[in-house]
Chains A and B, each alone.
Chain A
Amino acid sequence: MADQLPNTPILDELEKGTWPSFVKEIKLAAKNSPMSRDLLGLLEQSYEEKIGHWKHGGIVGVMGYGGGVIGRYSDLPEKYPNVSHFHTIRINQPSGWFYTSEALRTLCDIWDKHGSGLTNMHGSTGDIVFLGCRTEALEPIFSELTEAGFDLGGSGSDVRTPSCCVGPARCEWACYDTLALTYDLTMHYQDELHRPAFPYKFKFKMSGCPNDCVASIARSDMSIIGIWRDDIQINHDEVTKYAEGGMNIQRDVVGNCPGKCMDWDGKELKIENSYCRHCMHCINVMTKALRPGKDRGACVLLGSKAPIVEGALLSSVLIPFWKPKPPYTDLKDMVERMHDVWCEEGKARERIGEFIQRVGLGNFLEECEIDIAPEMVAHPRENPYIFYEEYYEEDDGEEDEDGE
């Protein structure tokens, strides 16, 4: 019978266990969606043969946009006609992923009507991801989405959908308004988001504090992480309560401080803040006793990426302390200068972090007119071979091989 689920002994293995299972979800959707039924058959065959059966569609999209749709076709269209086209749509999520249930229902209704009904909430960039529709459904989906107040996200060589942690909306550690900055950047970079013009993708991620709940330091070209520059706030009474409650402050807090800047004499907790590395460990452990300082802002870092052309990179410091103030013109001006240099000199598929590695951080900073700061040195106490041109005098060049 056409409506019966295909026989999928290999996929069924992935339903076992207590964790969520995408196979379970596809089977659920398959009750109403022929696309999901064929998807099960195609996947089972892929698992059996250990071969992917998707072809990349490079030209599908909606009129006027260069991003937001990732084209997929199956190479077995006769056998699985309902997944012959299986395009993915990325939709710009609201900052911090806050929805009303009405908004979620609207999204689901649009998707049930035009696509497979399968979603991924959310993709790794942060977007709402609609999985699987035909080419001719793209424009109707797009127009219904825009009518409901949604827009497509980024894909390809463009600014990818900016994303952020819940920030001050729900979290007391937020050192700046991640939601406001994310919304502002999203609106400001609409052109760059929908019309790819870069050598490769460019991601912004905003985290309210160094806990970095959106992993911006590893997953965005520009990571904007909340930070404070004064002293950690200590409530000594609460510290005492933690000690009385049985917490081993010496072992679990002081002993794990990477800055080795905490001292606990059994009565009083002291922090040498000039050595604090802002790792959040102590604050996370003693939530009632410690808080970030009061002079809050953000550290702007640049360059992280997952391994594709080159290996993985973490972002490194660009602006050690920045006070985010709407309309954030100072940040946008700097980003524009960086984009100009990268667009001018970057190779195809070269992320900005790789570009900096190729041309050298010093040259990059000079071209972008960004002041050099000691915090840019990744390992300040470990590498003595760092110097800057203006401090480099003729005589210094006449070193022997031992550098003396």
Chain B
Amino acid sequence: MAKTAEEIADAMFKMVSDAQGLKKLKPGDLNKLMIQTYPDEVDKKLCKAAIKLLVNNGRCVYTYFGGSFIELPHREGAAND
């Protein structure tokens, strides 16, 4: 059965949480991992929608360190607050 965007967003959120501090994941990495994990149930469009959900509801943020990544919101080292 096909997955919903919410389900994929949850699975992506878990991947990002597990990788936090160890490896920065690019949106493309998340898409590839999802398609590998659920080969017949997700496509790129659904992955895109899932990332949009994750970022729009603030569970994840885009970051830029030479390339763009998806991470959990966190205080960055360079910040002067």
Contacts and interface: CB of A to CB of B under 8 A. Distances in A.
A158 B78 CA distance: 23
Interface in A34-65: 55-59, 61, 63-65
A158 B52 CA distance: 14
B62 A73 contact: no
A200 B64 contact: no
Nearest to B28: A343
A59 B63 CA distance: 5
Interface residues of B, number: 27
Given A64-B56, A66-B62, A200 B80 contact: no
Contacts of A66: 55, 62, 64, 68
Interface in B1-38: 26-28, 31
Contact residue range for chain A? 20 to 34
Given A157-B68, A195-B51, A195-B62, A348 B26 contact: yes
B80 A73 contact: yes
A184 interface: no
B27 A58 contact: no
* Interface SS of chain B: mixed
Contacts of B61: 59, 61
B52 A195 contact: yes
Contacts of B80: 73-74, 77, 84-85
Contacts of A71: 64, 78
A180 interface: no
B52 A200 contact: no
Contact of B27 (A56, A63, A197, A200): A197
A365 B73 CA distance: 40
A196 B79 contact: no
Nearest to A157: B68
A199 interface: yes
B62 A156 contact: yes
Contact of B58 (A63, A198, A349): A63
A191 B66 CA distance: 20
Given A63-B58, A195-B52, A199-B28, A58 B67 contact: no
A196 B68 contact: yes
A198 B64 CA distance: 12
A71 B26 CA distance: 19
Contacts of B81: 135
B76 A58 contact: yes
B23 to A, nearest CB: 12
A163 interface: no
A155 interface: yes
Contacts of B68: 66-67, 156-158, 196-197
Listed from nearest, the 9 A-B pairs whose CB atoms lie closest are A66-B62, A196-B68, A156-B68, A157-B68, A197-B27, A55-B78, A77-B80, A84-B80, A156-B64
20 contacts: A55-B78, A56-B78, A57-B78, A58-B64, A58-B65, A59-B61, A59-B76, A61-B61, A66-B55, A67-B68, A71-B78, A74-B80, A77-B80, A191-B48, A195-B55, A196-B64, A196-B68, A340-B44, A348-B67, A349-B67
Interface of B: 26-28, 31, 44, 48, 51-52, 55-56, 58, 61-68, 71, 73-74, 76, 78-81
